[in-house]
Amino acid sequence: MVIWMAGLSGAGKTTVCRLLFDGLKASLPELVLLDGDGVREAFGNDLGHTEADRVRQVSRVQRLARLLSDQGLVVIVALVYANPDLLAWNRTHIADYFEVLFDAPLDLVRRRDPKRLYAGALTGETRDVVGVDIPWHRPESADLVLDLSREPDAATLATAIARAVPRLSSKWQTTPSRV
């Protein structure tokens, strides 16, 4: 199974995925977390952040997630870039696929801006930022849409995902502590 989290940078994907992982790993030892930054590092940070490089990065993660899933692992994926063609590939090529959209307004993620991407993009310091100079393709067929406009806490979001994914709901025994 692959649980694919999509959303703009700063939407909280990494934080929520880490809570999910921590809250499930003891009862679901076959759980694996693939975060975009971690995968970039694992491959030697050999790609930039241009749209073409993002497509290549997502392609790597897709194939890695499918490989792990085909071996019986449950894979949580957290990525920013959500090109419709790439997400369609997931639905076609990954047998047990569940897509989650972290639906965060741009003004919210700009306000959070933990990596200072949006601030840098506004000053011209940073380029290739999804939602600024690279188009944000909001997933249209997500299995679960998390409305972040009211800024729910990460533990609430992790619980909502665990309850929505049948394979996780029976394993979700405790609510993780707040972040």
Residue 126 maps to a domain: no
Q: How many domains does the chain have?
A: 1
User: pTM of the prediction?
Assistant: 0.91
CA-to-CA separations, 152 to 18, 22, 72, 157, 179, in angstroms, rounded: 16, 19, 32, 7, 11
Average pLDDT over residues 18-31: 96
The reply to whether 45 falls in a domain is: yes
In a domain, 115, yes or no: no
68 belongs to a structural domain: yes
* pLDDT, tens digit, 9 for 90 and up, residues 78-131: 999 889 999 999 999 999 999 999 999 988 888 888 888 888 888 889 899 898
pLDDT at 26 exceeding the cut of 80 = yes
Structural domain that includes position 69: 2-105+137-169
Query: pLDDT tens-digit profile of 32-46?
Result: 999 998 999 999 999
Q: Examine residue 67 and state whether it is found in any structural domain, yes or no.
A: yes
User: Residue 87 belongs to a domain with what CATH number?
Assistant: 3.40.50.300
Strands 74-79 and 144-147: what pairing?
unpaired
Residue 174 covered by a domain: no
- Return the residue matching tokens 């380029």: 127
Q: Which residues contact 137 (CB under 8 A, 6 or more apart)?
A: 82, 83, 84
CA distance 100 to 87: 11
In a domain, 114, yes or no: no
| pLDDT range class, residue 174, cuts 50, 70, 90 | low
- Is 118 part of a structural domain of the chain? no
